[in-house]
C-alpha cells in the first residue's frame, strides 16, 4: 500500500523550527517510499486563527522546497484541505457517534465547569469532566435545551480501557482510559474540536503515518478512542522528540533567545537547503558520517527507525556553518539577488552602492559570513558617512606610529590618482620603506584609522570598495576631528 502522510498546521502563527522539521520528515518519508505528501490546514479553532497565516505556512514550505501533492491551493482527491471547509463532512460522523451512544450532548455552562475545575484543584486532583450530562434522558435534555443553554458534544470515554499503540519513536505506549474525562468533540458553535476533526480527516484522507511533534503524544489516546468508536484502523504514529535550547531546556514558542520562525531565517538570508539540512539532523541521524545532504540525498537515506528518542539541541553555530557552506556552493547570482533585496529593504542602495559593488562585497566577505544578511552589517563601516571608532581602534590611534602611518598613507593616496588593488599594495610597500613598519602593525593601523575597526575582511579589497574619495575624506576628516592631533605636528 502506498503511504500517505500529512503536515497539518493550525494557522495560528508562523511556521517555526519544530513545524518545519515535522513538515520535512513527512515530506522525506513520502519521497523515500514513493508516497503522497499532503498539507491540511487545521483551522477549526477559530478563536486562535490568524488571518492569512495559512498562506504564510504554504509560502515557507514552498521556500523550503517541500512541495506537496495535495493541499489547499492545489486540491486533490481527498479535499477540501481546510478543515473549516469540511464541516458538512464531519456532521454525519458526529450524528453516528451520538446515535450509537458513543457521544452525547452536554449542557454544562462555562461557570459550572469552572466550579468543577476549582473543586478538583482544591482537592489536588487532575481535572477530569464529572460526567454530569453523560446519562441525561431525552426529557432532561429537552428541558436544559429549553432553558436556552448552549450544548457541546462530548465523547463518551469507555471505562477501564487500556489504550495501546506502538510509536515509531517512543516504542510501545500504554494509557488507561480512566485518566481521560469525556472530552468535547463538537464545540457549542457546532464546530468540531481538533481531536475529532483530525481523526475523521486522517481516516478519510487515508493517512498511513502520522508524524508530528511530541506535544501531541498525550493527545493520541483520545484520538485512538475515536478511531475505535468508529471501528477504524489507526495510522502508524511517530512523535518527534522536542527541539531544546542550547541549555537543554524546553524551547517555548515565545522564547526569543533563538530565532524560531522560518520567516526570520528567510529575511536574514539563510538558504533553504541549509535550513533543511540543519533540521533533518535535529532528531534523526543518518547511517554513516555524512552531515551535508541535498533534499534528494536526505530522502534517499531517511528512515523512521533512526529517529531519536531524546530531545534535539539547537546549535546556532552548526546552522551558521552549514549556511556558510551552502552559500559557498550557491550560484553567486542567487546571493547577489538576495543581498540586493536586503540592501533595498534597508534603503542602502544609492549612487555608491550598486549591484556590482554588492557582488564585490560578497566576494570580499562571503567566506566570513554565516548568512547574507550579515553583509548589511559588514557593509556598514564602508557606507557610514563618518568613521565610528571601536575602543580598540581608539587605543591604537593614540600610538605615535599609527598616526605616522595614517599621515603617510593620506599623502600617498592624494598624490596617486589610480585606485586598484596593485596600486594600493604598492602604497603599502612604500609606507613600509618610509616608516620601517610592516605586516600586521601597518595593516591594522590603516584599518583602524579608515574603518574604525581593528578586524575585518581583506584590507586592500575593503579600501578598494570604499573608494579613493571616501578614503581621503575619512583620513582628512579624522584629522580634522583631532584624532590625529599629534599627526598635525608631524
Ligand atoms: N494542527 C496541529 C498543530 O498545528 C497538528 C496536529 C497533528 O499533526 O495531528 O500542532
Number of folded domains that form the chain = 4
- 324 in a domain, yes or no? no
pLDDT at 480 over 80: no
- Mutation choice for ligand 1 from 46, 54, 192, 198, CB with most ligand atoms inside 8 A: 198
pLDDT at 64 over 60: yes
Q: For residue 445, which of 406, 484, 476 has the smallest C-alpha distance?
A: 406
12 CA: nearest ligand 1 atom = 4
Q: How far is the CA of 194 from the centre of ligand 1 (A)?
A: 8
pLDDT (mean) for 42-46:
94
Q: Are residues 396 and 473 in the same domain?
A: yes
pLDDT (mean) for 166-180:
95
Q: How far is the CA of 1 from the centre of ligand 1 (A)?
A: 24
Query: SS3 string of the chain?
Result: CCCEEEECCCCCCCCEHHHHHHHHHHHHHHHHCCCEEEECECCCCCCCCCCCHHHHHHHHHHHHCCCCCEECCCECCCCCCEHHHHHHHHHHHHHHHHHCCCEEEECCCHHHHHHHHHHHHHCCCCCCCCCCCCCCCHHHHHHHHHCCCCCEEEECCCCCCEEEEEECCCEEEEEEHHHCCCCEEECCCCCECHHHHHHHHHHHCCCCEEEEEHHHHHHHHHHHHHHHHHCCCCCEEEEECCEECCCCCECCCCCCCCCCEHHHHHHCCCCHHHHHHHHHCCCECCCCCCCCCCHHHHHHHCCHHHECCCCEECCHHHHHHHHHHHHHHCCHHHHHHHHHHHHHHCCCCCCCCCHHHHHHHHHHHCCCCCCCCHHHHHHHHHHCCCCCCCHHHHHHHCCHHHHHHHHHHHHHHHHCCCCCHHHHHHHHHHHHHHHCCCHHHHHHHHHHHHHCCCCCCCHHHHHHHHCHHHHHHHHHHHHHCCCCHHHHCC
Q: Which domain holds residue 23?
A: 4-76+244-313
Q: Are residues 102 and 133 in the same domain?
A: yes
pLDDT of 230 = 98
pLDDT of 183 = 97
- CATH (domain of 346): 1.10.8.70
Assign 482 a pLDDT band (cuts: 50, 70, 90): low
Q: Are residues 231 and 90 in the same domain?
A: yes
pLDDT over 90 for what percent of the chain?
72
* Contacts (Cβ under 8 Å, ≥6 apart) of 469: none
Q: Are residues 372 and 309 in the same domain?
A: no
pLDDT at 375 over 50: yes
Q: Are residues 370 and 395 in the same domain?
A: no
Contact 270, 320 (CB under 8 A): no
- 325 in a domain, yes or no? no
Place of cell 605636528: 489
pLDDT at 485 over 80: no
pLDDT of 97 = 98
Q: Are residues 236 and 162 in the same domain?
A: yes
pLDDT of 488 = 37
pLDDT at 478 over 80: no
Residue bearing the bigger pLDDT, 477 or 392: 392
Pocket of ligand 1 (CB under 6 A): 8-10, 42, 198, 212, 216
Q: How far is the CA of 212 from the centre of ligand 1 (A)?
A: 7
Residue 432 burial (C-beta neighbours within 10 Å; 0-12, 13-18, 19+): middle
pLDDT at 365 over 90: no
- 322 in a domain, yes or no? no
Q: Which of 278, 313, 348 is the last residue of a domain?
A: 313
How do residues 219-239 score in pLDDT, each as one tens digit?
999 999 999 999 999 999 999
pLDDT (mean) for 339-344:
88
Place of cell 605615535: 400
Q: Are residues 88 and 212 in the same domain?
A: yes
Q: For residue 90, which of 234, 203, 233 has the smallest C-alpha distance?
A: 203
- 319 in a domain, yes or no? no
Q: Are residues 118 and 175 in the same domain?
A: yes
198 CA: nearest ligand 1 atom = 9
Q: For residue 32, which of 292, 303, 308 has the smallest C-alpha distance?
A: 303
Q: Are residues 89 and 234 in the same domain?
A: yes
* Phi and psi torsions of 279, nearest 5°: -65, -35
pLDDT (mean) for 358-371:
87
pLDDT (mean) for 147-174:
96
Q: Are residues 200 and 289 in the same domain?
A: no
pLDDT at 483 over 70: no
How do residues 245-304 score in pLDDT, each as one tens digit?
999 999 887 888 899 999 999 999 999 999 999 999 999 999 988 999 999 999 999 999
How do residues 5-28 score in pLDDT, each as one tens digit?
999 999 999 999 999 999 999 999
Contact 387, 447 (CB under 8 A): no
- The whole-chain average pLDDT of the chain stands at 91
CA separation for the pair 172, 164 (Å, rounded): 7
Q: How far is the CA of 390 from the centre of ligand 1 (A)?
A: 49
- Mutation choice for ligand 1 from 5, 6, 9, CB with most ligand atoms inside 8 A: 9
- Mutation choice for ligand 1 from 5, 6, 7, 8, CB with most ligand atoms inside 8 A: 8
Q: Are residues 96 and 49 in the same domain?
A: no
- CATH (domain of 214): 3.40.50.620
Adjacent-strand bridge partners of 165: 173
Q: Which of 240, 275, 303 is the last residue of a domain?
A: 240
Highest mean pLDDT among 184-193, 243-252, 459-468: 184-193
Q: Are residues 13 and 107 in the same domain?
A: no
Q: How far is the CA of 22 from the centre of ligand 1 (A)?
A: 10
pLDDT of 487 = 38
pLDDT at 130 over 90: yes
CA separation for the pair 354, 343 (Å, rounded): 10
Task: Tell me which residue has its CA closest to atom 10 in ligand 1.
Answer: 9
pLDDT at 451 over 70: yes
Lowest mean pLDDT among 100-109, 276-285, 351-360: 351-360
Q: Which of 182, 214, 240 is the last residue of a domain?
A: 240
* Contacts (Cβ under 8 Å, ≥6 apart) of 249: none
pLDDT of 208 = 98
- CATH (domain of 426): 1.10.10.350
pLDDT at 489 over 60: no
CB atoms within 10 A of CB 393: 23
CA separation for the pair 268, 339 (Å, rounded): 10
* Contacts (Cβ under 8 Å, ≥6 apart) of 219: 194, 195
CA separation for the pair 389, 435 (Å, rounded): 24
pLDDT (mean) for 188-211:
97
pTM: 0.89
Kindly list the catalytic residues.
253
Amino acid at each position: 500500500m502506498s503511504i500517505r502522510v500529512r503536515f497539518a498546521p493550525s494557522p495560528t502563527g508562523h511556521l517555526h523550527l519544530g513545524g518545519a522539521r515535522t513538515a520535512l520528515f513527512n515530506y522525506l518519508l513520502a519521497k523515500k517510499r514513493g508516497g503522497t505528501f499532503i498539507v491540511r490546514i487545521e483551522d477549526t479553532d477559530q478563536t486562535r486563527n490568524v488571518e492569512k497565516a495559512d498562506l504564510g505556512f504554504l509560502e515557507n514550505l514552498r521556500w523550503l522546497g517541500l512541495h506537496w501533492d495535495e493541499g489547499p491551493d492545489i486540491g486533490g482527491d481527498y479535499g477540501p484541505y481546510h478543515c473549516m471547509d469540511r464541516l458538512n463532512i464531519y456532521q454525519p460522523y458526529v450524528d453516528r457517534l451520538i446515535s450509537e451512544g458513543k457521544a452525547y450532548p452536554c449542557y454544562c455552562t462555562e461557570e459550572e465547569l469552572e466550579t468543577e475545575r476549582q473543586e478538583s484543584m482544591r482537592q489536588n486532583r487532575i481535572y477530569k469532566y464529572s460526567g454530569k450530562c453523560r446519562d441525561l434522558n431525552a426529557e432532561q435534555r429537552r428541558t436544559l435545551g429549553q432553558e436556552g443553554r448552549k450544548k457541546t458534544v462530548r465523547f463518551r470515554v469507555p471505562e477501564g480501557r487500556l489504550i495501546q499503540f506502538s510509536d515509531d519513536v517512543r516504542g510501545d505506549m500504554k494509557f488507561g482510559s480512566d485518566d481521560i474525562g469525556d472530552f468535547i468533540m463538537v464545540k457549542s458553535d457546532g464546530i468540531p474540536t481538533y481531536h475529532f476533526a483530525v481523526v475523521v480527516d486522517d481516516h478519510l484522507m487515508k493517512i498511513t503515518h502520522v508524524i508530528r511533534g511530541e506535544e501531541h503524544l498525550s493527545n493520541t489516546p483520545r484520538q485512538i478512542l475515536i478511531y475505535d468508536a468508529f471501528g477504524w484502523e489507526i495510522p502508524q504514529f511517530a512523535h518527534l522528540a522536542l527541539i531544546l535550547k542550547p541549555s537543554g531546556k524546553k524551547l517555548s514558542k515565545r522564547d526569543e533567545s533563538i530565532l524560531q520562525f522560518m520567516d526570520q531565517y528567510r529575511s536574514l538570508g539563510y538558504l533553504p537547503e541549509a535550513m533543511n539540512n540543519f533540521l533533518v539532523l535535529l532528531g534523526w541521524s543518518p547511517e554513516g558520517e555524512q552531515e551535508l545532504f541535498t533534499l534528494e540525498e536526505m530522502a534517499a537515506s531517511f528512515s523512521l527507525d533512526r529517529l531519536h528518542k531524546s530531545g534535539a539541541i539547537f546549535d546556532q553555530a552548526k546552522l551558521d556553518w552549514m549556511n556558510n557552506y551552502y552559500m559557498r556552493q550557491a550560484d553567486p547570482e542567487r546571493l547577489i539577488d538576495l543581498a540586493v533585496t536586503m540592501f533595498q529593504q534597508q534603503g542602502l542602495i544609492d549612487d555608491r552602492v550598486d549591484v556590482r559593488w554588492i557582488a564585490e562585497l560578497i566576494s570580499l566577505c562571503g567566506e566570513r559570513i554565516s548568512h547574507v544578511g550579515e553583509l548589511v552589517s559588514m557593509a556598514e563601516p564602508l557606507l557610514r558617512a563618518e568613521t565610528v571608532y571601536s575602543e580598540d581602534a581608539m587605543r591604537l590611534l593614540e600610538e605615535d606610529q599609527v598616526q605616522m602611518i595614517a599621515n603617510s598613507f593620506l599623502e600617498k593616496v592624494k598624490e596617486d590618482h589610480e585606485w586598484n588593488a596593485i596600486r594600493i599594495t604598492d602604497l603599502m610597500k612604500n609606507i613600509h620603506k618610509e616608516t620601517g613598519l610592516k605586516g600586521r602593525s601597518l595593516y591594522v593601523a590603516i584599518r583602524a584609522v579608515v574603518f574604525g575597526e581593528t578586524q575585518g575582511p581583506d584590507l586592500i579589497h575593503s579600501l578598494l570598495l570604499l573608494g579613493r574619495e571616501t578614503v581621503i575624506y575619512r583620513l582628512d576628516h579624522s584629522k580634522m576631528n583631532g584624532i590625529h592631533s599629534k599627526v598635525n605636528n608631524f
